[in-house]
């Protein structure tokens, strides 16, 4: 592409224009567009798979790993998954136009705080092409225009999906440029995009830590980050052992590759002698490798000594670091130092200690006698989510439809002036 | 200072430690600290004025403008103003620990969304030393630790005020490093501060556009921006003339140097012939200079022709740009192109046109038959404010105590695991 800057600016300008129209779109028309998307994805299934095959073939040629190729793949099952998500999204309430608060001032003027779309949202993501539909549809439902920048490995898949979404917008009578893909794989396009704060209101990067750090370093647009989850459970001295074992196994094993899976177990030293062998044996049966401190290695012979690095690590795998701590304070300090403020829990029958932990740990979600695996928009009952924010500004934890909105103040009166 | 990086990191580390303690401080102890601040500022009034005199003398030596010197000055009236603000702050409700929402999931686990402090807030500001107390006290009331970076012109004033605030913290038993000043005027300190996202959760720049742009360009920490207010009023063809004149005069004249003052008046062409001479004469009586489009210049001989630049300008002075527009759509388009999404209003007796304008203009506050001068935390009934956000993320419009908080999810149960 000759002039990347010009191209990206024109995409962003068109997005802003579309956003101003989408701002006023009602729920019915937005849902109609989502329904049309379902139809078109269904009828153009073969075309999607054909374009996806180009990406898969290129990926194989370029030596992508098997895991990468798998993530890239759009088979019937995955296309069905995309359609199911769209169907669920239609059923969710539209937060836009909701009156958050309403009051009258002594001078008689009325103030209404009303939920409005954010405006233009840039999504920068890696290889999974289903993000194209997921992110764009969540943004559409909340009246936001989307600029999508997918990974180059999924270029043809993203392109065909975007064209289908745009067809659906056209058929519904909504501006087609409500959803746009950056149609070049030139890396410079991302840099250009991240400087256009006059058109783009928010950037959501979805991918590994490297991608997110690059975006944060370059962006002058607000970014909501979805960093890693180094999640902890602290097994207190007052323990329901069976319940604790069941929660720890679930948090580590049920789906180890996700951000809310357990990465470090902290055990109160008073119960170490009995509890550590018990839990380590149970974990070993599930093929979990234990990396422990000295005490853990003494109590469980198959444990590998943990390094300093281990305590910071999000394994996303069947590996667990285990450490003994003196008390709840040491547990909180460990989480503060090594954690990622994502999801951390305490296992105890002592309500007082639980409260102390829940208020002392500064994480998006804190748990008492519950698996950390519940940090998720669906599990929290929010419906869809665009990710789990590890930021504290605007959205923290699961980021659903409401978190894709802003607000404005509508002030009405009959001639009020300031004196 | 030998090693700026080391110094700023140590300040930030101490702020983070203090923030973890402040997170758990109750309202009573925070208010006690505010009361002690009031006492100490009262008894150390002379010391404050002595230190302030060093800044004033340096300013005079360095050729600061009269306006700058005035802003720098801490006289008895201003010190009284600081004390009054602190007294008002004590009376405001503490948003921390408030349950925003509470629900139970079908599996029996309980989720509570609870308001918590943001953590560590960095305030970067220019010459007015009263910001030191204002910003630090608002952050303290909401349980946040503050790192202050004031302008070099106010260095000694900021230093003595910070010491007094720290004395108050010490006497109350709160961590003294809850409020810290960057005690060097080296500009490199700001750059170091803006990279410490592991310790600092939010940066609020308070000052001119140049300062804010620098902060946005360099920061990897979320920034909430308080940019300029190029505020508009649109006088529709259906008009209560007397009311409209009164509102326009108020919005322009009552305090022209602030961000919610009127900068551009848009007039429907159908009423131009009568309304433009009327309003321009009324404004001229208040010493307002008119910069108009061709039609305005024809109708009001003292008008100066407006340049393209004028429509973008925040005068902060007794100058108003005036333009005729075809209809409400052209008014909305003008505001979208030239405005700053701060405060914009419509003057009309036609409710339908008003609704159309209020939903079509994408600004933090939109007004119908009310002066734009009300965009202010106090006027909105929020109590104190740390500024007026022109961002759409986290806080939009007046940013009060609630907007200085985040939230966390507290999940409690009895052994829930994910299946």
Q: Which residues from A are below 8 Å from B217, CB to CB?
A: 220
Four-residue CA torsion sign, A36, A40, A42, A48: negative
Contact A20 B336 (CB under 8 A): yes
The answer to whether B173 and B145 are in contact (CB under 8 A) is: no
Q: Which of A20, A243, A360 sits opposite B362 (nearest CB)?
A: A20
* B16, part of any domain: yes
- The predicted model gives A342-360 an average pLDDT of 98
The confidence score (pLDDT) of residue B1 equals 56
> Which tops the pLDDT comparison, A107 or A128?
A107
Closest chain B CA to residue A243: B415
**Do residue B392 and residue A201 have CB atoms under 8 angstroms apart?**
yes
Average pLDDT over residues B304-328: 97
For chain A, the average pLDDT equals 96
Look at residue A46 in the predicted model and tell me its pLDDT: 97
Residues in contact with B398: Cβ distance below 8 Å, sequence separation at least 6, in sequence order? B375, B376, B377, B380, B382, B385, B387, B388, B389
The two structure tokens encoding residue A108: 């008689």
Using a CB-CB distance cutoff of 8 angstroms, which residues of chain A are in contact with residue B405? none
Q: Do B26 and B109 belong together in one domain?
A: yes
Q: Establish if A390 belongs to a structural domain.
A: no
Give the count of alpha carbons within 13 A of A37, CB side only: 34
CB contact under 8 A, B20 and A368: no
At B2 the pLDDT is 62
**Looking at residue B383, what is its pLDDT?**
86
The verdict on A46 and A176 lying in the same domain is yes
Each residue's pLDDT tens digit, A180-221: 999 999 999 999 999 999 999 999 999 888 999 999 999 999
Examine residue A94 and state whether it is found in any structural domain, yes or no: yes
* Pick among A103, A204, A222, A336 to test the B interface (most B CBs inside 10 A): A222
Contacts B366 to A, Cβ<8 Å: 408-411
- Å between B128 CA and nearest CA of chain A: 24
Q: Which tokens in the block code for residue B227?
A: 């940019």
Say whether both B221 and B237 belong to one domain: no
Q: Which of A220, A379, A418 sits opposite B418 (nearest CB)?
A: A379
Predicted-assembly ipTM surpassing the 0.90 threshold:
yes
Condensed to tens digits (0 to 9), the pLDDT of residues B73-106 reads 999 999 999 999 999 999 999 999 999 999 999 9
Q: Using an 8 Å CB-CB cutoff, list chain B residues near A418.
A: 250, 254, 371, 373-374, 379
Question: How much of chain B, in percent, has pLDDT values that exceed 90?
Answer: 96
> Worst-scoring range by mean pLDDT, A113-117, B62-66, B89-93?
B62-66
Q: What is the mean pLDDT of residues B203-223?
A: 94
CATH number of the domain residue A200 falls in: 3.40.605.10
Instruction: Name chain A contacts of B381, Cβ cutoff 8 Å.
Output: 103, 105, 111
**CB within 8 Å: B359 and A223:** no
Q: Are residues A274 and A152 in the same domain?
A: no
* B101-107 LR contacts (CB < 8 Å, sep 24+): B103/A381, B105/A379, B105/A380, B105/A381, B107/B413, B107/B416
- Clarify whether residues A70 and A219 are in a common domain: yes
* Cβ-Cβ contacts under 8 Å, A345 against chain B: 411
Mean pLDDT of B164-178: 98
Please indicate whether, in this complex, the C-beta atoms of B412 and A369 are within 8 angstroms of each other.
yes
**Which pLDDT belongs to residue A405?**
98
Same domain assignment for residues B203 and B245? no
Residue B179 lies in a domain: yes
What mean pLDDT comes out for the span B173-185? 97
Considering the domain boundaries, does residue B326 fall inside one?
A: yes
Query: Is the pLDDT score of A48 beyond 80?
Result: yes
Indicate the number of domains in chain B: 2
Contact (CB<8Å) A362/B23: yes
- The verdict on residue A386 lying in a domain is no
Q: Does residue A391 fall inside a structural domain?
A: no
At residue A383 the predicted structure's pLDDT band, cuts being 50, 70 and 90, is confident
Could you say which of A118, A358, A373 has the minimum Cβ distance to residue B392?
A: A118
Q: Determine, yes or no, domain membership for A318.
A: yes
Q: Looking at the partner chain, which of A202, A368, A411 has a beta carbon nearest the beta carbon of B367? A: A411
**Interchain contact, B406 vs A396, CB within 8 Å:** yes
Q: Are residues A39 and A140 in the same domain?
A: yes
pLDDT at B119 over 90: yes
Do B161 and B244 belong to one domain? no
Chain B: give the shortest CA distance to residue A59, in Å.
33
Structural domain that includes position B254: 231-374
- A351: domain CATH number is 3.40.309.10
Same domain, A237 and A203: no
The whole-number pLDDT of residue B127 equals 76
The shortest CB-CB distance from A411 to any of B103, B223, B365 is to: B365
Which chain A residue has the Cα nearest residue B200?
A392
Domain identity same for B52 and B120: yes
For A329-335, the CB contacts below 8 A with 24+ separation are A330/A266, A331/A232, A331/A234, A331/A266, A331/A268, A331/A357, A332/A357, A332/A360, A332/A361, A334/A232, A334/A264, A334/A266, A335/A232, A335/A234, A335/A266, A335/A361, A335/A363
Q: Kindly report the nearest CA distance between residue A284 and chain B, in angstroms.
A: 19
pLDDT above 70 coverage of chain A, percent: 100
CA distance A30 to chain B (A): 17
C-alpha to C-alpha distance for A304 and A294, rounded to whole angstroms? 10
Tell me which residue in B365, B374, B412 faces A368 most closely, judged by beta carbons.
B412
pLDDT at position B242, please?
98
Whether A408 sits inside 8 A of B397 (CB atoms) is yes
Same domain flag for B19 and B125: yes
Q: Say what the pTM is.
A: 0.95
**Residue A127: pLDDT over 80:** no
| A255 shares a domain with A195 | no
Question: What does the pLDDT average to over B256-264?
Answer: 96
């Amino acid at each position: 592409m000759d002039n990347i800057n010009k191209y990206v600016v024109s995409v962003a300008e068109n997005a802003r224009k579309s956003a101003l129209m989408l701002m006023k779109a009602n729920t019915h028309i937005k849902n109609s567009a989502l329904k049309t998307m379902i139809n078109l994805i269904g009828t153009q299934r073969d075309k999607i798979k054909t374009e996806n095959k180009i990406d898969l073939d290129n990926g194989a040629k370029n030596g992508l790993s098997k895991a990468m190729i798998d993530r890239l793949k759009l088979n019937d099952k995955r296309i069905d998954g995309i359609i199911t998500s769209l169907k669920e999204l239609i059923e969710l309430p539209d937060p836009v136009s909701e009156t958050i608060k309403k009051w009258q001032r002594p001078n008689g003027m009325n103030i209404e705080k009303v939920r409005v779309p954010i405006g233009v949202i840039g999504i920068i993501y890696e290889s999974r092409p289903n993000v194209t539909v997921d992110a764009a549809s969540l943004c559409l439902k909340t009246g936001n225009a989307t600029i999508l920048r997918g990974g180059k490995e999924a270029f043809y898949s993203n392109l065909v999906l975007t064209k289908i979404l745009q067809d659906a917008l056209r058929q519904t009578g909504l501006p087609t440029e409500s959803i746009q893909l950056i149609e070049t794989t030139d890396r410079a396009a991302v840099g250009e995009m991240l400087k256009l704060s006059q058109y783009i209101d928010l950037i959501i990067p979805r991918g590994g830590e490297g991608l997110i750090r690059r975006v944060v370093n370059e962006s002058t647009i607000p970014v909501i980050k979805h960093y890693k989850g180094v999640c902890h459970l602290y097994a207190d001295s007052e323990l329901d052992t069976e319940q604790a074992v069941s929660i720890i196994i679930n948090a580590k094993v049920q789906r180890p590759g996700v951000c809310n899976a357990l990465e470090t177990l902290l055990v109160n030293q008073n119960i170490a002698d009995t509890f550590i062998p018990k839990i380590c044996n149970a974990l070993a049966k599930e093929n979990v490798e234990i990396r422990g401190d000295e005490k853990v290695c003494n109590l469980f012979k198959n444990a590998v000594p943990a390094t300093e690095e281990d305590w910071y690590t999000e394994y996303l795998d069947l590996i667990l670091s285990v450490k003994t701590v003196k008390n709840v304070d040491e547990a909180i300090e460990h989480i503060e130092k090594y954690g990622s403020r994502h999801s951390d829990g305490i296992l105890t029958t002592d309500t007082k200690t639980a409260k102390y932990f829940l208020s002392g740990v500064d994480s998006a979600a804190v748990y008492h006698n519950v698996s950390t695996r519940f940090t998720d928009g669906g599990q929290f009952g929010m419906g869809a989510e665009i990710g789990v924010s590890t930021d504290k500004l605007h959205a923290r934890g699961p980021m659903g439809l409401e978190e894709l909105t802003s607000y404005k103040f509508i002030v009405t009166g009959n001639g009020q002036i300031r004196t």
